[in-house]
Structure formats: structure tokens, C-alpha cells
A = this chain, B = another copy of it.
Amino acid sequence: MISIVLVGIETAGNVGSIARVMKNFGLSELVLVDPKCKPESKEAWDRAAHARDVLKKVIVTDFSYLKKYDYLIGTTAKLGTDYNIPRIPMTPAELASKLSEVDKKAKIAILFGRESSGLLNEEIQKCDFTVTIPTSKIYPTLNVSHAVAVVLYELFKEELTPNVKERYAPISGREKEVALEKVDNILNKMHFATPEKRETQKRLWKRMIGKAMLTRREAFALLGFLRKLE
């Protein structure tokens, strides 16, 4: 189970925004450690949109509460030298692969710091490890709710991708073959200056159908077109 912990959060709007993105990715436990703003304010409420249930159950507490978690994962935009071992970060993609090895029942807290100054060194020292989102050197610091969105997206994308894909059956290998046979038949009936030019066309169609990653529906539409040509 993954919980989001905001340490010293300063802006109520960000709390609401984070409640929303947590629900977008299927999470519900939001913990505020020593917040500097009011999670019950109108701004938080508005930004939470349809995730007010997450906001209602928010836990307001102090750092000692975090002892209940099996893993504390810090996030930081400030990269230390490699002498500062706790500040040596993983990327979100590395975190996703790490967490896929961890027991689903483990209690995992991901900590995000203050808008103005992030997590303090002593807070990072208490984490098992840290995560940094790869960004431009010119302006590396994301808004905190964007950082939550990116980390949760990366952690849940594999699990949630079927929600996008389930209604679109991909073209089967057999359907691809049928389409290519039709293309070959048509090309065989057409006139080309040299046989090589015909082969080039055949290769083009094979590559194009392969690269387009058609769904079954799109493949049917294409077969309809080819049948008409034939």
C-alpha cells in the first residue's frame, strides 16, 4: 500500500490538487506532516474536484507518525554530491522496478517536501532512499503536485495500461498476413518498370502495417479498402 506524505506543505491548493491526482491513480491515504496551510479551505476543496473523499480522510500529524511505515521514500530536486549518500537518487522508473519486487502488503510512504525548500537534510536522512524526476537543468523544480503526478503515473502505468487497451483488440498475426497477401495480390497485378520496384512496394507495405500497430477495427477498415482495390 502506498501513501503520500506532504511535509510542511504551504499551499492549500496543492493539497487539493494532490488529493485529486492520488485518486486518479487509485490511492487514498494522504498524510500531512506539520502543514503550513489548511486542508479544509475552499481552495483545497475546489482543486480536489471529485476527490473530496480523499481530502476528508486526510491525516494531519507530525514526523514521528511515519514510524508506522515499512519504507520511507524521499523525493528531492536537489542533487547532492555522491558523498551525501542519502541524497543519491533513483529515477521514478527505477523506483517502479524496485517496488515491483516488494511485497504488496508493505506499507510504503512517499514523502514530498515544502514548496519553498523541499525536504530538509534530516528528513531525507530518515528515508530509505530518494527519488528525483529527470528535468531540465535550467529549471529543475517541479510544482509539488506535478511531482506527485509524475511519480504516481510511473508507479502505476503498467498496472493501469489495460484500462486504456482493453477495449481495443490489436490486429492478430493472422490478420496482418491476410492484409499483406491482399496487398501482394494487388501489387502483382500492377505494372512496375522493374521487379525490384514491386518488391520495394511490398516491403513498404509490410513495414507500414507493422509500424502502425493497428487495432483489429482499423485492420478491418484497411482490409475493406484493399478488397475494393482488388
A interface residues with partner B (beta carbon < 8 Å): 13, 17, 20-21, 23-26, 47, 49-51, 79, 81-83, 85, 88-89, 91-94, 101, 132-143, 145-146, 149-150, 153-154, 156-157, 160-165, 167-169, 211, 213, 215-218, 221
Contacts and interface: CB of A to CB of B under 8 A. Distances in A.
Given A139-B51, A153-B133, A24 B82 contact: no
B149 A161 contact: no
A182 to B, nearest CB: 19
Main secondary structure of the interface of A (DSSP, over half): helix
Nearest to A160: B134
A82 B146 contact: no
A17 B163 contact: no
Contacts of A138: 23, 26
The count of identical subunits is 2
B215 A82 contact: yes
B26 A164 contact: no
A20 B146 CA distance: 10
A27 B171 CA distance: 35
Contact of A217 (B85, B91, B146, B217): B85
Given A88-B217, A141-B24, A168-B82, A135 B161 contact: no
